[in-house]
Amino acid sequence: MALYHIVTGAAGFIGSNLVKRLNERGVTRIIAVDNLTRAQKFRNLVDCEIADYLDKTEFLEHLRAGNFDGAVDAVLHQGACSDTMEQDGRYMMENNYRYSLSLLDFCLEQEIPLLYASSASVYGGGRVFREARANESPLNVYGYSKFLFDQVVRRRLADAGSPVAGLRYFNVYGPREAHKGRMASVAFHFFNEFRSEKRVKLFEGCDGYGDGEQRRDFVFIDDVIDINLFLLDHPEVSGIFNIGTGRAQTFNEVAVATVNACRAMQQLGALSLEEMRVQGLIEYIAFPEALRGKYQSHTEADISALREAGYAAAFADVATGVSRYVAWLAAARA
């Protein structure tokens, strides 16, 4: 009998994209694990094929009872509370850290691959984004929950008899993220703002950066899924890896790409950033006080470790990725 792939956070952004791509490979014996308290996430799985769905709590009970022993091919752990503004540290640590420990124990005991979502938030306000303890200083409890689990993985890798790979996602954007609300990508919010208000709003300058010039490593979802599947196909690879493009781009660049992609669908020509400013298509708003001291104004993944592990594919830049995403969003709402 074929074994199961378990995908946690399966109805979420990255999880549902993983399920869809596994389906395209002919993999349908998938146990989809999630928390559907916010029921609208179910839409992400409507066009996917799965063997069963389990609530995250029910799944953990089955796991601890031994009901999945010998029945699993791999675990792709994408489930987590990713709200960086969450103030309930007890909930965050139980949901992100303790839950992940249970999965790690299971995978090491069963000697099956574990791919799990870490986060670039572990680097906090630092300027060196390389997978080393000296560079890690999270600014919030979400980042700390990810950091702490990464530390456990590092200690246990030397004795692991099966692959464990942590993926430190940078700023991922793309299809199937609408349910995230305010935590969705800026590309998603810029698209909606432009469609409804004919303009997009960015933060004014902060931390020495000009208006809209804060920089992030924006990585398109297709590239993220490609890396997950690469690691799944290469069980000889273990470790913690940055998942970004290796190139920081500005929020202004995302705004320009979004506006121009929307204009192209209306048969209108591309505009420069300055032309958009003059025409009022881009507006700058005050930087939120609640984010001061908790905001990463510059991220740029050092992807040397990923390249050394053998992943050689090129990444979509903002102009390319956002254009694809806008086309998908427009088609989804047609």
Active site residue ranges: 142, 180
SS3 call for 239: strand
List, in order, residues 6 or more apart from 86 with CB less than 8 Å away. Answer: 92, 140, 141, 142
140: Cα separation from own chain's centroid: 17
44: Cα separation from own chain's centroid: 15
For β-strands 249-250 and 215-216, DSSP reports them as antiparallel
Give just the sign of the alpha carbon dihedral 46, 47, 49, 50. Answer: negative
Provide the Cα torsion 222, 165, 105, 11; round to 10°. -10
Q: Is there a contact between 31 and 52 (Cβ–Cβ < 8 Å)?
A: yes
* Max Cα–Cα distance, the chain, nearest Å: 64
Give just the sign of the alpha carbon dihedral 22, 95, 93, 162. Answer: negative
Secondary structure (DSSP) of 318-334: HHHHHHHHHHHHHHHT-
In one-letter notation, the amino acid at residue 253 is: E
As beta bridge partners, residue 205 has none
